[in-house]
Structure 1
């Protein structure tokens, strides 16, 4: 079980936005649990609470930006589906798989657990993502709650906040990692 209790601080600020149980619901354009992480707007559309702890899904909207730090998720498989725009994704299994791929509208990338990865937004982009249940609120743990509907501004979490979020959501940040371009 990867879901967290209702009073978890990564959930409590968003109480009432999602149903917190597996029952039907509809979200309008721009609705969901939203956090600004760096210069990216993450909107959680479904969490482990709504999916019987099966998966979580979100959107990420961003403008042209810097590459986010290399990292790996120990328990989370995730994917990137480019709804609109362009994003470069780096993946490395620290053995024989090394890739740098620029995804454009309609492209898809799968990142299994334990694969070191990073991404860079190449222009204004919207990505639909999903991953192992529970991980979706990682974005709240390192981000700032917001009611924005488009990305604007920058929120840079302190490294202790990032480290704590990483520990809670089984993620290791690897800023020194060198991808083979």
Structure 2
């Protein structure tokens, strides 16, 4: 069952980068679909198209930065695996689970759908992530296509763009949410 649109226009500018079908392929470093979101470089390595709508996989590279806005994915499970560096992850189920954890190289965090979360890059960091198929296009919807291989510069999407992407990809931004630090 596809949770996100199969004919997603957010993948059109990237046509031909990934095979768009479940067949074998290899990507060299920096050859995936790339978008700059805030000061983070997201690279999609596999999408729902390649995995029969099972999952999407990406990397995120960033330098020291501010905490991203609190948000919740209503339909997407997501994980963070720190390939290199340090990232602080906040998670809150708005009931009895509240955490703030600094992950370092080799650490892992799982964020089920419905959990409010945010993160902050503590130093130059690479994170491998995966989530529910189709959600990976969210990064394109709020970001700017790029050919960068390392994060540089800042792209701040207009809040109306963030809101529209959130509606499309079942993500609610909660900038007023207070985590229990």
Give the Cα separation in 1 of the matches to 2:4 and 2:87. Answer: 29
Q: CA deviation at 1:3?
A: 4.7
Residue-by-residue CA offset, 1:55-81 (whole Å, 9 max, x unaligned): 000000000000000000000000000
Q: CA deviation at 1:169?
A: 0.2
Give the Cα separation in 2 of the matches to 1:4 and 1:18. Answer: 17
**Is the 2:3–2:75 contact (alpha carbons within 8 Å) kept by the matching residues of 1?**
no
Secondary structure of the equivalent of 1:13?
A: helix
Aligned length: 180
1:65 aligns with 2:71: no
**Any unmatched runs of 5+ in structure 2?**
none
Moved segments of 4+, more than 2 Å: 2-6
Give the Cα separation in 1 of the matches to 2:158 and 2:83. Answer: 30
Q: CA deviation at 1:30?
A: 1.0
1:4 aligns with 2:5: yes
Q: Which residue does 2:165 correspond to in 1? A: 165
> Normalized against structure 1, the TM-score is what?
0.98
Residue-by-residue CA offset, 1:4-27 (whole Å, 9 max, x unaligned): 344x32000000000000000000
Residue-by-residue CA offset, 1:124-153 (whole Å, 9 max, x unaligned): 000000000010000000000000000000
Give the Cα separation in 2 of the matches to 1:101 and 1:40. Answer: 20
Q: Which residue does 1:180 correspond to in 2? A: 180
1:47 aligns with 2:47: yes
> Normalized against structure 2, the TM-score is what?
0.98
**Is the 2:4–2:169 contact (alpha carbons within 8 Å) kept by the matching residues of 1?**
no
Give the Cα separation in 2 of the matches to 1:5 and 1:132. Answer: 13
Q: Which residue does 2:130 correspond to in 1? A: 130
Counterparts in 2 of 1:83-162, with a 5 A limit?
Answer: 83-162=83-162
**Any unmatched runs of 5+ in structure 1?**
none
